[in-house]
Amino acid sequence: MKKLFLLLALVGMVATASGDDGVNEPTNTPTETPDGGNDEKPEDNTPEDKTQLIKFIDNTVKTLCVVSWDTNGDAELSYGEAAAVTDIGTTFKSYDIISFTELAYFTGLSYIANEAFRDCGSLKKIELPHNITSIGNSAFRDCSSLTSVTIGNGVTSIGDSAFMFCDSLKSVTIPDSVTSIGNYAFAGCDSLTSVTIPDSVTTIGNYAFYDCNSLKSVTIGNSVTSIGQEAFLHCSSLESFYGKFASEDNRCLIVDGKLTAFAPAGLTEYTIPDSITSIGSYAFYCCDSITSVTIPDSVTSIGNYAFAGCDSLTSVTIPDSVTTIGNFAFDNCDSLTSVTIPDSVTSIGSGAFYCCDSLTSVTIPDSVTTIGRWAFYDCNKLTSVYCKATTPPAGDYYMFKSNASERKIYVPAASVEAYKSAARWSDYKDYIVGYEF
């Protein structure tokens, strides 16, 4: 309760002294360079006399620091008091602060706590102490005004969602000390244009750079051994990958033969390299400009959502080497008009061609033994389904539901009754017609 009263009193004092923005120009800050930066880091200016008082730029920051760590009750914070702090916790979470370059004087900190500055939407500048070794989960999440951050050479790990939704972040340098980048670490950083992963990093987490819409180039360091699922998903401006796992044309990341990420910017047609044996989940997800894809004979499987949302895709060649088509692999490929599934395929995943609005015809070979739930659901222009198997494949709910009203399912003439009585196929008995293949 005592701290609450002190906080209220201090807020009133600083508001009266400085107006509404809560920012003062300090009298002891380093000389500014022409570009507006400082020619020295704050820790370089720490006085030998640790009893001297810190002149804060942001009065709200000062208030929170005094309430939390003023040990002598003088309503100020000295360099010594700042250096004694070992954990800032969530002291600043959700506060309307603008600048905290003085954090560099908190030299007793070894980590930035989880959610330490989460939802500080006005925060533009911050300087981390040189001895920080880890940045916690969601530490700077939703700091939408943060334009740059310097990560010190002592940092070894960047936590999950650490900089997620930092929409203004343009320049981030990951030092050679970092060994892991957490899940969603930089997801939604819309202004980030390039990323270099240093050789020290061994793991890149799931969705680490998800939805970084301005990201154009990525360089992967030589020590990276694992790239999490959908690490570069929905990065629509990506033009190139460099370094480890990059394909010769710099358009793909290939890990153990699997195409895990694709750089689609500027392309309408693409031929997948022969070195690829499988197309990973979400590999071409929402590549809006791609109209045609050629898959080489080396590929044996197409992963879940591999081409989902490719709404300009009109042509895709599936080779005889492919044996499985994953769940929702071509979901919402609105421009796809016809598909011939090769004789090598044994299973069609759930929702494989879900909501392909322009699909009018599909041929299912006799090698297919399983058709998943919603496989051709809501393909509302689908009029012709040719299913060659003499024994009805195992079907699932709604596999042909909401097709065109006149849709016919053509099956071997000798197998019509078998289809009409088979589980799930019986739902479509009025549309099943005998056909001589």
Any idea of the CA torsion for 144, 148, 151, 157, to the nearest 10 degrees? Answer: 30
DSSP 417: H
Domain count, the chain: 1
Residue 15 domain-assigned (yes or no) = no
In this structure, is residue 218 part of a structural domain?
no
CA distances to 367, 409, 434 from 414, rounded to whole Å, are: 17, 14, 7
Q: Which tokens in the block code for residue 187? A: 């997801």
| 174 domain-assigned | no
Task: Identify the three-state secondary structure at position 81.
Answer: helix
- CATH code where residue 359 lies: 3.80.10.10
Helix (H, G, I), strand (E, B) or coil at 414: helix
DSSP-derived 3-state class of residue 351: coil
Burial class (CB in 10 A: 0-12, 13-18, 19+), 406: exposed
Q: Is 68 part of any domain? A: no
Contacts of 87 (CB under 8 A, 6+ apart): 109, 111, 113
Q: 86 and 109 in contact (C-beta within 8 Å)?
A: yes
| Structural domain contains residue 238 | no
Q: Which of 29, 47, 26, 46 is nearest to 38 (CA)?
A: 29
Interacting residues of 435 by C-beta distance below 8 A, sequence separation 6+: 386, 410, 411, 412, 413
Domain assignment of residue 39, yes or no: no
Closest CA to 391 of 352, 428, 423, 429: 423
Is position 264 within any domain?
yes
pLDDT in tens, the chain (437 residues): 434 444 444 444 434 333 444 555 443 333 333 333 444 556 667 888 999 999 999 999 999 999 999 999 999 999 999 999 999 999 999 999 999 999 999 999 999 999 999 999 999 999 999 899 999 999 999 999 999 888 889 999 999 999 999 999 989 889 999 999 999 999 999 999 999 999 999 999 999 999 999 999 999 999 999 999 999 999 999 999 999 999 999 999 999 999 999 999 999 999 999 989 999 999 999 999 999 999 999 999 999 999 999 999 998 889 999 999 999 999 999 999 988 899 999 999 999 999 999 999 999 999 999 999 999 999 999 999 999 999 999 999 999 999 999 999 999 999 999 999 999 999 999 999 999 99
Are residues 249 and 272 in contact, defined by beta-carbon separation less than 8 angstroms?
no
Contact present, 132 and 158 (Cβ < 8 Å): no
Report yes or no on 143 lying in a domain. Answer: no
What are the structure tokens assigned to 121, written together?
């939407």
Q: Domain of 424?
A: 253-437
